[in-house]
Amino acid sequence: MAEIVNLRTARKQAARKAARAKGDENAAKSGRSRAERDLERARAEKAARDFEAHRRGESD
């Protein structure tokens, strides 16, 4: 006996699967995730702040 399938649900699942595959493909193409980019930016900003904090004052 065949299994009954809701076609609307099957279409939505297929669309989700296709969107996930396209997103994974784009992520692999672009390299890093957003979290990795944000972490790298935060580390660079902290390094710049630390560098500026060690500067000596202007001497006249």
pLDDT of residue 59: 61
Distance of CA 56 to the CA centre of its chain: 38
> Is 5 strand, coil or helix?
coil
- For the segment 1-59, what is each residue's pLDDT rounded down to a tens digit? 889 999 999 999 999 999 999 999 988 888 888 898 899 999 999 999 999 998 887 76
pLDDT of residue 60 exceeding 60, the answer is no
Q: CA dist 46 to 32, 41, 55, 57, Å?
A: 20, 9, 15, 20
pLDDT of residue 9: 96
DSSP 8-state secondary structure symbol assigned to residue 32: S
Taking the complete model, does pTM exceed 0.75, yes or no? no
pLDDT of residue 57: 76
Whole-angstrom distance, CA of residue 12 vs CA of residue 7:
9
